């Protein structure tokens, strides 16, 4: 299968399952999902598409060097934006969620990242532009879409903050020495892999956590699916420049054989972890559907399932809740 066609297929399937999950949440009796934050994600995605389709990137102020520098800086702050979004969900603040999404989507100009940061050319047609923008949006935000419970919110926030912090290295690549960039990349890679292993262990050890991640699985699967394919095709940061050039010349089957023979072990490990988490979360989601546990399957926030997602007035309760949340998280790691 052609690589570009495969990428498009993965993106469109990921978008479809996310939209289906949203429809399920909105249509379920007593659901608070739409008024409690779900609308913000859909509106943000729509605005990202609109700014691309209507060519807002061609406006003079967008082309200004200061504005472009601001966008690059915001990309470097993706880790902070992920932390902000997670805390906004945990502490029920629509205001901070909006701010976090604006930073994460670069004022809803997320399609420019593929050209500015990743050095990709402008797409030739609307269909390719839609795919690129959708892929970027899912990569940045999908994990947060269906979170409900405090434990999974905090764990996901830490996970995505670690992962998104790597974007800062892309912004700083022309300002850091080769050695510093190498150390930064690998340091973040070790932490990211260690956390993914810890996540697998936590899901194995805790039935309640398995249930919670089963309920929010669709968002996590969408994020990992759009990440898995480019990591496999391009090698991510696990390959140096020469290795990457050689890697890009290989077919998919040749890459698979090389990894199975023991080549690029860290790349292979990340691919295995992502694949394992996708299979695990998909299994947990299916189990919830089979068991008919709609209220715990992320489909509603009913009186029986306390709404910890958002309050409609945007109050946070941050001062009272943050110490407890931090104590819980570090206590979990210690145990």
Alpha carbons within 13 angstroms on the beta-carbon side of residue 203 total 24
For tokens 């989507």, what's the residue? Answer: 105
Question: How would you classify residue 219: left for phi > 0, otherwise alpha for psi between -120 and 50, otherwise beta?
Answer: alpha
State the pTM of this model: 0.84
- Residues 142, 222 contacting (CB under 8 angstroms): yes
Q: Is the pLDDT of residue 4 over 60?
A: yes
pLDDT tens sequence across 153-179: 999 999 999 999 888 777 777 777 878
Which residue, 99, 123, 100, 98, is CA-closest to 112? 123
| Residue-level pLDDT at 173 | 74
Q: Which range among 62-71, 104-113, 171-180, 280-289 shows the weakest confidence by mean pLDDT?
A: 171-180
Taking residue 256's Cβ as centre, other Cβ atoms within 10 Å add up to 14
pLDDT-derived band at 317 (thresholds 50, 70, 90) equals very low
Q: What is d(CA 39, CA 99) in angstroms, rounded to the nearest whole number?
A: 14
pLDDT 10s digits, 18-33:
999 998 888 876 777 7
Q: Among 54, 260, 224, which residue's Cα sits nearest to residue 142?
A: 224
């Amino acid at each position: 299968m052609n690589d570009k066609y495969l990428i498009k297929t993965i993106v469109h399937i990921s978008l479809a399952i996310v939209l289906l999950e949203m429809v399920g949440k909105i249509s379920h009796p007593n659901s608070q999902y739409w008024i409690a934050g779900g609308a913000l994600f859909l509106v943000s995605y729509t605005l990202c598409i609109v700014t691309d389709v209507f060519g807002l990137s061609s406006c003079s102020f967008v082309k200004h060097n200061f504005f472009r520098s601001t966008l690059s800086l915001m990309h470097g702050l993706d880790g902070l934006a992920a932390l902000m979004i997670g805390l906004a969900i945990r502490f029920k603040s629509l205001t901070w969620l909006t701010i976090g999404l604006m930073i994460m989507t670069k004022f809803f100009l997320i399609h420019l990242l593929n050209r500015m940061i990743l050095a990709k050319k402008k797409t030739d047609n609307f269909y390719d532009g839609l795919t690129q923008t959708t892929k970027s949006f899912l990569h940045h935000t999908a994990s947060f879409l269906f979170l409900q419970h405090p434990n999974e919110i905090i764990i996901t926030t830490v996970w995505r903050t670690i992962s998104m912090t790597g974007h800062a290295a892309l912004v700083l690549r022309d300002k850091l020495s080769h050695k510093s960039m190498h150390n930064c990349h690998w340091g973040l890679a070790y932490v990211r892999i260690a956390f993914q292993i810890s996540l697998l262990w936590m899901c194995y050890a805790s039935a309640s956590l398995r249930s919670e991640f089963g309920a929010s699985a669709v968002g996590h699967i969408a994020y990992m699916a759009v990440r898995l394919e480019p990591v496999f095709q391009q090698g991510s940061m696990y390959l140096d420049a020469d290795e990457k050039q050689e890697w890009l010349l290989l077919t998919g089957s040749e890459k698979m054989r090389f990894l199975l023979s023991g080549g690029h072990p860290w790349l292979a490990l990340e691919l295995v972890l992502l694949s394992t988490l996708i299979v695990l979360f998909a299994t947990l989601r299916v189990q919830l559907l089979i068991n008919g546990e709609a209220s715990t399957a992320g489909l509603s926030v009913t009186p029986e399932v306390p709404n910890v997602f958002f309050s409609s007035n945007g109050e946070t309760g941050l001062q009272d809740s943050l110490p407890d949340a931090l104590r819980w998280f570090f206590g979990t790691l210690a145990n």
